[in-house]
């Protein structure tokens, strides 16, 4: 036996300044953490650690705030990580490593992000200079290239000769899949907003005509084939084999995962190296994967990562992806894991892959499995 995920839930994913705009990080995370523990039949006092990915919150230790708000004992310190977009999956890999090192038996892991309430960032290059607003930190030191993510994606699309119409088709499929799965997706969603919403509000009937009218961001990268900034949270409960055996809980095995780095100016293809290394280490043929959750920060990125690793495209984001939900940076990887967990559990077995890219040239891939 290996480390297992025994429950997994998330909030709706809502566009910035939308349905979740008034909620703080603990407001978003705590109800999901509590619901995960209830779903797993685990009490808060059995939790050894809480690991939370967050990219925009401004520091401090949001994991501690979220854990306390969830009613987890104050003896649990909470551990916050920031690896940008891959952080939500990396929280799970860190939890797995801690459990397998004997440091914990029960860990709540995942991510939370609020684009709507993120702090304004100011920085000064000199003590006598006025601080200036900046939107994002540097992802590579000078003089290394550190393009804006939209520019980096446009460059990669040009390098691999991707057509805008193909990107738009990918986005149309993502929205259509999400709309078709709206009812089934409710099983993984915890209502946290005042209106009690249990479906992702952004998914819509996207068409070629709508895509053709979408404003251009950079070259073939448009608002139709790019994920929007969003608020949301996703968490899992992970347990050791000893805890699983003693308490009779079971779920999905976290088989193996890895984070790798590529050139900082080509973050879109970093998951290719992570996927190849993870599947290679496990001697897994991509065609044997039953479920695949590929991050869709951009349609181009999801297309490239799927095609360059020979993934079966009919199994990628079968119930929609981030193009139809939005991108709550620090939480997005965790949302992929929640999606994968529920698809594998609903199928009563299978082997799935979750993969995501991050600014700075990072990529994470994780394999989950349940034997039927």
Residue pLDDT, tens place only, 227-271: 999 999 999 999 999 999 999 998 999 999 999 999 998 889 999
Cα three-residue angle 321-86-237, rounded to 5 degrees? 85
pLDDT at 121: 83
Q: What is the pLDDT of residues 291-326, one digit of tens each?
A: 999 999 999 999 999 999 999 999 999 999 999 999
pLDDT at 329: 97
Model confidence, pTM: 0.96
Compare 304 and 131 and report the one with higher pLDDT.
Answer: 304
Summarize the confidence of residues 320-344 as an average pLDDT.
98
Q: For the chain, what is the HEC assignment?
A: CCCEEEEEEECCCEECCCCCCCCCHHHHHHHHHHHHHHHHCCCHHHCCEEEEECCCCCCCCHHHHHHHHCCCCCCCCCEEECECECHHHHHHHHHHHHHHCCCCCEEEEEEEEECCCCCCCEECCCCCCCCEECCCCCCCCCCCCCCCHHHHHHHHHHHCCCCHHHHHHHHHHHHHHHHHCHHHHHHHECCCCCCCCCCCCCCCCCCHHHHHHCCEEECCEECCCECCEEEEEEEEEEECHHHHHHHCCCCEEEEEEEEEECCCCCHHHHHHHHHHHHHHHHCCCHHHCCEEEECCCEHHHHHHHHHHCCCCHHHECCCCCHHHCCECHHHHHHHHHHHHHHHHHHCCCEEEEEEEEECCCEEEEEEEEECC
pLDDT at 142: 86
What mean pLDDT, rounded, does the chain reach?
95
pLDDT at 58: 83
In this predicted structure, the answer to whether residue 127 has a pLDDT above a threshold of 90 is: no
The domains of the chain, with CATH numbers, are 4-118+227-370 (3.40.47.10)
What percent of the chain is modeled with pLDDT above 90?
Answer: 86
Summarize the confidence of residues 159-170 as an average pLDDT.
96
In this predicted structure, the answer to whether residue 158 has a pLDDT above a threshold of 90 is: yes
**Closest C-alpha among 28, 339, 359, 371 to residue 191:** 28
In this predicted structure, the answer to whether residue 147 has a pLDDT above a threshold of 90 is: no
pLDDT at 133: 81
Contact yes or no for 239/53 (Cβ under 8 A): no
pLDDT at 204: 95
The sign one gets for the Cα dihedral 148, 156, 302, 276 is negative
In this predicted structure, the answer to whether residue 211 has a pLDDT above a threshold of 80 is: yes
pLDDT at 140: 86
Beta strand 216-218 with 291-294 is unpaired
In this predicted structure, the answer to whether residue 60 has a pLDDT above a threshold of 80 is: yes
Summarize the confidence of residues 109-122 as an average pLDDT.
92
In this predicted structure, the answer to whether residue 130 has a pLDDT above a threshold of 90 is: no
pLDDT at 303: 96
pLDDT band, very low/low/confident/very high, at 368 (cuts 50, 70, 90): very high
Summarize the confidence of residues 163-186 as an average pLDDT.
97
pLDDT band, very low/low/confident/very high, at 1 (cuts 50, 70, 90): confident
Please list the active-site residues. Answer: 85, 327
Compare 139 and 345 and report the one with higher pLDDT.
Answer: 345
In this predicted structure, the answer to whether residue 220 has a pLDDT above a threshold of 80 is: yes
In this predicted structure, the answer to whether residue 47 has a pLDDT above a threshold of 80 is: yes
pLDDT at 196: 86
pLDDT at 67: 98
């Amino acid at each position: 036996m290996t480390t297992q995920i025994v429950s997994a839930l998330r909030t709706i994913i809502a566009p910035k300044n939308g349905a979740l705009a008034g909620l703080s990080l603990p407001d978003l995370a705590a109800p999901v953490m509590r619901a995960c523990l209830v779903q797993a039949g685990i009490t808060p006092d059995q939790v050894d650690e809480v690991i939370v990915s967050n990219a925009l919150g401004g520091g401090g230790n949001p994991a501690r705030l979220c854990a306390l708000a969830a009613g987890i004992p104050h003896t649990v310190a909470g551990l916050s990580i920031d690896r940008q977009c891959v952080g939500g999956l990396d929280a799970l890999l860190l939890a797995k490593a801690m459990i397998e090192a004997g440091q914990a038996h029960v860990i709540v892991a995942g991510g939370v992000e609020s684009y709507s309430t993120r702090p304004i960032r100011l920085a000064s290059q000199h003590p006598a200079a006025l601080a200036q607003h900046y939107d994002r930190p540097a992802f590579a030191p000078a003089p290394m290239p550190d393009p804006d993510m939209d520019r980096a994606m446009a460059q990669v699309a040009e390098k691999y000769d991707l057509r805008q119409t193909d990107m738009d088709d990918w986005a149309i499929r993502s929205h259509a899949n999400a709309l078709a799965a709206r009812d089934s997706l409710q099983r993984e969603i915890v209502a946290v907003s005042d209106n009690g919403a249990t479906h992702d509000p952004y998914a819509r009937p996207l068409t070629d005509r709508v895509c053709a009218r979408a404003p251009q961001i950079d070259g073939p990268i448009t608002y139709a084939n790019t994920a929007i900034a969003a608020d949301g949270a996703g968490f899992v409960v992970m347990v050791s084999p000893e805890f699983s055996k003693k308490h009779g809980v079971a779920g999905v095995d976290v088989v193996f995962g890895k984070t790798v780095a590529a050139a900082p100016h080509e973050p879109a293809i970093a998951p290719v190296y992570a996927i190849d290394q993870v599947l290679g280490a496990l001697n897994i043929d991509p065609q044997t994967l039953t479920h695949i959750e590929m991050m869709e920060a951009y349609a181009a990125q999801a297309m490239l990562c799927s095609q360059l690793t020979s993934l079966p495209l009919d199994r990628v984001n079968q119930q929609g992806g981030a193009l139809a939900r939005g991108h709550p940076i620090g939480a997005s990887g965790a949302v992929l894991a929640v999606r994968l967990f529920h698809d594998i559990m609903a199928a009563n077995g299978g082997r799935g892959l979750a993969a995501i890219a991050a600014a700075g040239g990072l990529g994470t891939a994780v394999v989950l499995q349940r034997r039927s």
